Every structure is written in structure tokens, then in C-alpha cells.
A and B are shown apart, each in its own frame.
Chain A
């Protein structure tokens, strides 16, 4: 994005070229596009903060002095702290197998990895209710052993892991496929062990893609609503994540509270976008990013 933008500017001449539009048309198109984005993105974004601060900073900060809010934050962090590393390890393993080896059914495997993206969040929760719920396939077995998964923390972790399943893998697979395997082969032939090759050659090459995947994975893990809503049971202070807590506050007409907690997730979203842009910029500005520097 970066170099391309400066290139465009350099090649822009004051006189209109036949492959560009008249300034009037240009301004109209920019205006229309920005108007659309303002209407659908900027206005809702600003409204979160406006509503959160509607009764001043005091009321805003007071919304967080609530043990229930605190426990919702804690549960969200726990769920993300389990789901993100799991999917990270899976993403690296899947990308290694898919990008570095040939085997039949590879394309099918890639499609299956993407599957959770095309499943409605509600169904992502439902499948775990069907498996582990009281009426579910493993329900009686779990009840006998007094293990609770649905309407408890494990269910929330499972649902979160499911919906964030593809994020890291889908970033790494195309990246590692494009990088090929010659660098790793050289390391192995020169006598490095498999692990050493991975840590010293592969990981430095994929670090930006990995970071990118982790950032997106984390944002989704902390913000997931539909799937978690189905398995949570909405027990206050116990099985409510931040998004579910927002819903409860909102339905109780505690708008300042709901938007105050929502502003927390909005800030997280903005930080995510900033980090994402930074990683993209970092990746584009370093021409050797795809090859890395193997020590």
C-alpha cells in the first residue's frame, strides 16, 4: 500500500491524463465514498463514545466499579488466553503440513479449515450444546461425573476456540506456500535439527503473518457474541463475557453502563486496526520481509 501510494502521487500530473477522471467527477466519487463510510462506520463509532460519556466522566468510570463487569472482563480474557494460543499452534502446524509437503486432499483440507467462518455464530454455539448439553450426546455421561461444560466456562472457551479456529492458519498457509521450502531444506541439509530449523529459519520468516493472524484472532475471541450467547446460560458474574454483559446492561436500559463497557471493546477494535495497519506497513516497507534474515 505504502510504496504504491507514493508512486501514484509522483506520477500525477497537473493536467488531466486520458486515463484519469475530470476533477469534478473525482471529487464527487470521493465525496460519495466518504459519505457512505461516514454514515455506516464513523457515526456509529462516535455514538459509542458519545453515549458512554452522556452523563460525564464520573458516571462513565463508575460503570467499571462493578464486580460483575470485572468478572465479565476476566472471563473474556481467560477465554481469549486459551483460544488464541491453541489456534496459534494449530495454525502453524497446519500451515507447515500444507505448505511444505504434497499430499492428496490438500485443497479439501484448506476448505475444511475455513469452515467455521461460514457457519453462523448461533450454530457454532448450538453444536456444542448438542454434544455436551444435558440432552446432548455426551450429556448423561457428563452429568454422572458432575462435569459441566455447557452454561459454564469450558463451553465458552470451546465456542470461542471454534469461531476463531481459522484465523492464524488462513494467514500462514498462503504466506508459507509463497515462501516455498528451499530455506528450510538448506538448513536441514547443513545439519540443523527440525526444531532448530523451525525456530531459526521458518519463524523469523513468518513472524509478521503470525502476528497479523494472532491480532485478528484475539479481536474476534474477545468480541464473539452469538456463539458464546448460546452456550453461556447468562449467569451474572459467572458465565458472562464482556459482549454478553453489554447485552444485559442494554436490556436493563442502563445505556451509560452498556456503552461504557462497549467503549472498552471499541477501543480494543481500534487498537486492533492500528496494529493491523502497522503490521501491514511493516511488511510492505521491508522488501526482504518475505525472505527474512536467517542467521
Chain B
């Protein structure tokens, strides 16, 4: 804008003022409290808390299961988005709506439902038990819950990009002699890549912090099936506020890094998608 333009619309001070006040009171000040509380610990105390063996085991489970679940969702999310955009089949609208179920279904309900389905005498668990696969009350159960929770993310980030895709690109590839797989690998996948990665990061970030659906199916055995958010609750119940806060700081820092990554990915996606 070459010169300062006067905006005739009213309400800027009122709305921005209210936004900043509400944001500060409800989100920023309470979140800052976590960092203030941690500063009452010495560095050694903090380090000792966040690297205790039981805590390290929970990181391994939380990160490992979240990574695995996000990876599964990456492949199946792309598949579901592809099928929903490209193919016609009976009940497609219903399936499309149902994809958002993990967003709408309360996590506690998801937790008890998945536990019931995957326990030894559950609908699916009963089939897996003879094969020696136990899902409920094992790390595998954590993975199942996190896959459920992260399911919509990749579908919903890839779907719009796939819908907006220019048919000419594929026609050009086909007329130049590429087969379907080559076209997908060399033409479509690079275009979908930023949105795939964004969906993956969103699913991973959500899975890291997830609590409600996991606590029911994991069985919460120390060193084996304890996720990091559960350890925070355990410490709180023992009135170890400083310890709980130290773990919260670790998780918050990881979340902020993830948030930054996701923002960068989205910016990259909008840039690489726009000039098409």
C-alpha cells in the first residue's frame, strides 16, 4: 500500500482490546504459570525429574506410538482422501462425514469403545488373541487409540488439494507416456507432499498429548504402558506439583516446536500450491 489508507470501519480498538485481554487472561497468563512454577526447581532437580527412568519409558512410548500411528494415518489418510475424491461408490457421502468422527466423539467414549472392541473377548480382540496378538493393555493398544484419534488429519489436509488438482497435469503425463503409477509417483505425490506432511505433523502433535482415549486401553502399567500425560496426572495426584509441572514444560516445548513446524509446513504448502 503506497500511502496510509484510512479505514472507515469502527471497532478496531474494542475488538482487538477484547481479543488481547481474553487471550491473555485465559491462555497466556495460565500457560506462563507453568514456566514460572518450574523455575522454583533447580536445574538438577528439573533434569532429574524429566529424565527419571519411568519418565524416559513414557517418552519412548508416547513418541514411538504417536509416530507409528501418524505414519499409518499418513498412508491410509492418503488412500481414504484419494478414494473419496476420485471414485464413486455407494454411501460415499456418509463415509466422508464419518471420517470426522474422531473429532466429534469424546475421547473417553472412544477409549472405552476401543478397549471393548480390542480386549481379549472383544469383537476384534477375540480374533487376534488366538494369533498371540494382545492389543488392549499393551503398547499396541496405545497405538490403536492414537491411530483412531489422528485418523481425520491427513484425510482433511490432502482432500482439498486433491480436489483442486488440475486434470491437465495428469493428462499431460499420460500423453507423454507415463503409466498411472509413474504419474502418481512423479507428478501427483510431489504436489501432495506438503499437505501430507502437514497432516502427518498435526496427527503426530495431537497423538503426543492425547490422554482420554489412551488411559482406558493402555492399562497404565509403569515402565510399560504409561504415556507422559498420564505421568503428569500421577504426579499431581501425589501432590508433586513441581514434578508435574516439569514434565508439562517438556511437553509444552515439544508442542511449540511442533506448532512452529506445522505453521512452516502450511506456509510452504500454500506457496508451492498457489502458483499452479
- Is B170's CB under 8 angstroms from A19's CB? yes
Known: A5-B92, A33-B83, A101-B16. A123 touches B209 (CB 8 A): yes
Task: Check if B114 is an interface residue, CB within 8 A of chain A.
Answer: yes
- Is A262's CB under 8 angstroms from B113's CB? yes
B124: which A residues are within 8 A, CB to CB? 39, 43
- Is B236's CB under 8 angstroms from A129's CB? yes
A96: which B residues are within 8 A, CB to CB? 11, 15
Which of the 9-residue segments B43-51, B190-198, B239-247 touches chain A? B239-247
Known: A114-B259, A126-B34. A37 touches B99 (CB 8 A): yes
- Is B241's CB under 8 angstroms from A269's CB? no
List B151-187 residues whose CB lies under 8 Å from chain A: 151, 163, 167, 170-171, 174-175, 180, 183
CA distance in complex: A129, B175 (Å): 64
- Is B252's CB under 8 angstroms from A129's CB? no
A110 vs chain B, min Cβ distance (A):
9
Which of the 9-residue segments A63-71, A216-224, A286-294 touches chain B? A216-224
Task: Check if A162 is an interface residue, CB within 8 A of chain B.
Answer: yes
CA distance in complex: A135, B242 (Å): 10
B211: which A residues are within 8 A, CB to CB? 120-122, 225-226, 229
- B88 in complex: contacting residue of A9, A118, A129, A189, CB < 8 Å: A9
- Is B163's CB under 8 angstroms from A4's CB? yes
Task: Check if A59 is an interface residue, CB within 8 A of chain B.
Answer: no
Central interface residue in B30, B99, B144, by most chain A CB within 10 Å? B30
List A112-164 residues whose CB lies under 8 Å from chain B: 112-116, 118-123, 126-131, 133, 135, 137, 158, 161-162
The majority secondary structure among interface residues of chain A is helix
Chain B residue, CB-CB nearest to A161: B26
Task: Check if A81 is an interface residue, CB within 8 A of chain B.
Answer: no
Task: Check if B57 is an interface residue, CB within 8 A of chain A.
Answer: no
Task: Check if A13 is an interface residue, CB within 8 A of chain B.
Answer: no
Known: A96-B15, A119-B255, A250-B216. A40 touches B148 (CB 8 A): yes
Central interface residue in A5, A40, A243, A246, by most chain B CB within 10 Å? A40
- Is B241's CB under 8 angstroms from A130's CB? yes
CA distance in complex: A191, B19 (Å): 27
Write out, one digit per residue, whether chain A residues 190-225 have a CB within 8 A of any chain B CB (1) or not (0). 000010011000000000000000001001001111
Interface residues contributed by chain A, number (CB under 8 Å): 101
- Is A243's CB under 8 angstroms from B116's CB? no
- Is B93's CB under 8 angstroms from A277's CB? yes
A184 vs chain B, min Cβ distance (A):
6
- B79 in complex: contacting residue of A1, A32, A219, CB < 8 Å: A32
A112 vs chain B, min Cβ distance (A):
6
Task: Check if B101 is an interface residue, CB within 8 A of chain A.
Answer: yes
Task: Check if B205 is an interface residue, CB within 8 A of chain A.
Answer: yes
What are 6 A-B contacts with C-beta separation under 8 Å?
A: A40-B144, A114-B259, A118-B259, A121-B107, A223-B104, A265-B109
| Top 10 A-B residue pairs of the complex, sorted by shortest distance between their CB atoms | A223-B106, A120-B209, A225-B212, A194-B10, A226-B211, A18-B174, A127-B30, A44-B113, A269-B104, A97-B15
Q: Which residues of A contact B (CB under 8 A)?
A: 1, 4-5, 8-9, 12, 18-21, 25-26, 29-30, 32-34, 36-37, 39-45, 47-48, 51, 90, 93-94, 96-98, 100-103, 109, 111-116, 118-123, 126-131, 133, 135, 137, 158, 161-162, 165, 181, 184-185, 188-189, 194, 197-198, 216, 219, 222-226, 229-230, 242-244, 246-247, 250, 255, 258-259, 262, 265-266, 269-270, 272-274, 276-277
* 15 further interface pairs, Cβ-Cβ under 8 Å (given A1-B96, A36-B80, A41-B102): A12-B88, A25-B180, A32-B79, A37-B95, A40-B151, A48-B109, A118-B259, A122-B229, A122-B232, A126-B245, A133-B241, A162-B26, A197-B9, A226-B107, A266-B105
